Amino acid sequence: MNKFDLAGIGMTSQRTRDRLVRRLTGQGISDEIVLSALSSVPRHIFVDEALAHRAYEDSALPIGQGQTISQPFVVALMTQTLLDQPRPRILEVGTGSGYQTAILASLPGLVSKVYSIERLLPLLDRAQERILAMRCYNVRYRHGDGYLGWPEDAPFDGILVTAAPRSVPQVLLEQLAPGGRMVVPVGGDEIQELQVFDRTEDGFSMQTVEYVRFVPLLKGVRQ
């Protein structure tokens, strides 16, 4: 099986993805559009070939550079939470493997364009290659510091942060459009709160939806 086996055989089959979706439904993921994206996006092409047999487990997996691909439940939860309504322009902080990016880019009617930032160039290059193999052409990529966001294309209707800062970056909040929403894991190394910020006429409201575990959000860039 090569790294861009989009058809899938055996453990990467459509039936395997459908079993994953049924499991996610049992865990409380209810948005049919999000579930359809989880079913159609082949997670196995976003992990190393040696781990492809584990691609449809509900677990995080290493992708190199000290980073991980999030477990499918967390990807589904964050996507469902972010997209409580159509949010055409999304900023993703932390491209990583590209799996979450591909999910967002595969949601017509909810998302029109994804702006994705990654500080680790090898991960960004691999992710872009995989996403293009899926013919997702509505993604813009940047090798940069996620703490800075993407100011020249702000504001965004939604921001999704896929690594955990110890405190919420004010710069990212300021890049939310009025009525925009940001979903971000916040906290220390062991466990974080998945927090949701909505930009209102009076400022920002916040709620915590889950306890999660992510790699830390780091500043700067690396080649």
As beta bridge partners, residue 212 has 192
What whole-number distance in Å separates Cα of residue 157 and Cα of residue 175?
9
CB contact at 8 A, 116 and 140: yes
Which pair of tokens denotes residue 144? 């940069």
What whole-number distance in Å separates Cα of residue 115 and Cα of residue 28?
28
Phi (first) and psi of residue 151, to 5 degrees: -60, -35
Which pair of tokens denotes residue 17? 């993805």
Q: How many residues in total does the chain contain?
A: 223
- The kind and range of the H/E element at 118 are strand 113-118
For 65, residues 6+ apart whose C-beta sits below 8 A from its C-beta are: 120, 122, 123
Write out the catalytic residue numbers. 70
Helix-helix angle 14-26:32-40, to 10 degrees: 150
